[in-house]
Chain A
Amino acid sequence: MKSAPYLLSLPALLLFGAIVIIPLVMTVLLSFHDWGQYKGIEPVFVLKNWHEVFTDSYFLEMFWRTFRIAFFVTLLAAVLGAPEAYILNRMKSPWRGLFLLVILGPLLISVVARTLGWALLFGGNSGLINKALVSMGLISAPLPFMFTETGVIVALTHVLMPYMVLAVWAALQRLDPQIENAAVALGAGPFTVLRRIVLPQVMPGILSGAIIVFALAASAFATPAIIGGRRLKVASTLAYDEFLNTLNWPLGAAVAVLLLVALVAIVVGASRLVERRYAQVFG
């Protein structure tokens, strides 16, 4: 009878294995194969691709850029998203629902459409915002947006913000308003209540939102592809290019696997840290 749970989960396990594990294993194997301009992929075991990824400074710079972008996106999303969720939570009934829809609505729109929207607003010299800023005399030349890290960070922050808002919102929902009242009764002003009472209690929410946003930002494809283009590559767009343009699949596989491993390590490490920090306090 003890085997029953395992047997029952077998179909799901098989499906999981077929659609996740097998392609993953194949990608890992692929990264050890050889490739040449004229001979194509050779199914032999070489460390060439891994050697290249780890020694060529181009890859180092590109991975560094990927995680730098992810870091700033996460920071921006937290700094903007947490107050956004707090304000949303303080709103009265009809407005709250409406603004929640406004914030979460973008999730229903394709990432490509949203990113193109940013490209239209900021892109080139004829971008709407640049034109407005120049004509108002606030800036002398259009701000570079397309093919810049700033552009990718701004657009990705917008795309991923809802995840942060949702995570913080969930944490705020669990707060007992009487706890804030208790602080007020002891003489705390509104700002002190926010900093000493509310913020520490929603910190786990902000951190879990940050982990989600970081992982999604580091592995994002559409937004860096459209805003960064081929001039500003990140890990995912580089892997894509190796697969579909250069046709160097083994090298693309090595980049993809390295991105995956690095991300898993960072996310698991961060979750562990967060859990350990809060296990005692919030059980």
Chain B
Amino acid sequence: MAFLSLEGLSKHFGTHVAVDGLTLAVEKGEFVSLLGPSGCGKTTTLQMIAGFVEPSGGAIRLEGRDLLAVKPAKRGLGIVFQSYALFPHMTVAENVAFGLEMQGVAAAERTRRVGETLELVGLGTFAGRYPRQMSGGQQQRVALARALVIRPQILLLDEPLSNLDAKLREEMQIELRQIQRTVGTTTILVTHDQAEAMALSDRLVVMNHGRAEQIGPPHEAYERPATPFVASFLGRTNLVNGTTVRPEKIWFATSGLAGKVRTRIFQGNHWLYQIETADGLVTVIRQNTGEAMPGEGEAVHLAWAAT
């Protein structure tokens, strides 16, 4: 039996269908990402699990018990809201301590755990600040600390890293993954960043218009997309000779599909090519190995492995 299961979960706002019959089974300790474009119903799904949006249909079960019958305050979930939702009148330490206070944790133990968790998210020296006095990324980490400190049975993260710069985001991703691995907290992450979702999750739920288009491990969803939407949403794709080919799986050869380099963009660890062919524009990604690469305007031939 799954730890957390969503069964035909739906939400209608008037005539607008935000979530449409979503079915998902999450195992204990699993890291699942809801991935999809803006407005596809990710936040709504998360808020239904948290209990702040009432489903129009379907069921949510935690270890077989009906979660919808449990009050939001009793669900014991750790949530990071998309808007952080920090308590503006409390310091960082008070924000993080609030959940422990509600659980009746003794003051000394509280102080210790708050300090520990702030250290974990790299905000050890910010305990006395108010949210107003912090950057968006710092506030986001406070929100993460506030959710982690109560050691919830499920962690719900609504775009928890969207406001961090690239380097910090990568660090936090590694941190998050490590925390999740060591503590073993079942985690549901909402994101529209496919790289983040693939880097962190055991399984992806690719959503579009309130429906799950594909549920599976990142590698599988990437290599064998169930629908054209999934294929185009997870990285770039080319449609050549009636088959979809990923840009990084095409290479320059002495024979094959003939074309001409239209643009060539250097992106550090790889080159991004746009090749004009008889089949239309083809995107090619080649690793930067230091070798000489075809320049703009050059005639080339493209080859790829048959799948």
A interface residues with partner B (beta carbon < 8 Å): 176, 178-179, 181-189, 192, 196-197, 200-201, 203, 280-283
Contact = CB atoms under 8 A, between A and B. Distances in A.
Interface residues of B, number: 27
Given A184-B73, A185-B72, A186-B146, A201 B50 contact: no
Nearest to A192: B102
A181 B132 contact: no
Interface string B67-83: 00000111111110101
Given A181-B52, A181-B81, A182-B81, A189 B87 contact: no
Contacts of B72: 181, 184-185
Given A185-B50, A185-B73, A283 B103 contact: no
B3 interface: no
Q: Top 9 A-B pairs ranked by shortest CB distance?
A: A187-B102, A186-B99, A178-B85, A182-B85, A200-B89, A179-B85, A185-B79, A181-B52, A283-B132
A270 to B, nearest CB: 19
Contacts of A282: 88-89, 132
12 contacts: A176-B83, A179-B85, A179-B86, A182-B86, A182-B87, A185-B73, A185-B75, A185-B78, A187-B76, A197-B87, A201-B89, A280-B132
At the interface, is chain A mostly helix, strand, loop or mixed? helix
A183 B52 CA distance: 12
Contacts of B51: 185
Interface string B273-301: 00000000000000000000000000000
A188 B102 contact: yes
User: Which of A178, A186, A196 has the most chain B CB atoms closer than 10 A to its own CB?
Assistant: A186
Contact of B83 (A178, A192, A200, A281): A178
Nearest to A190: B73
A82 to B, nearest CB: 16
Nearest to B47: A181
A205 to B, nearest CB: 13
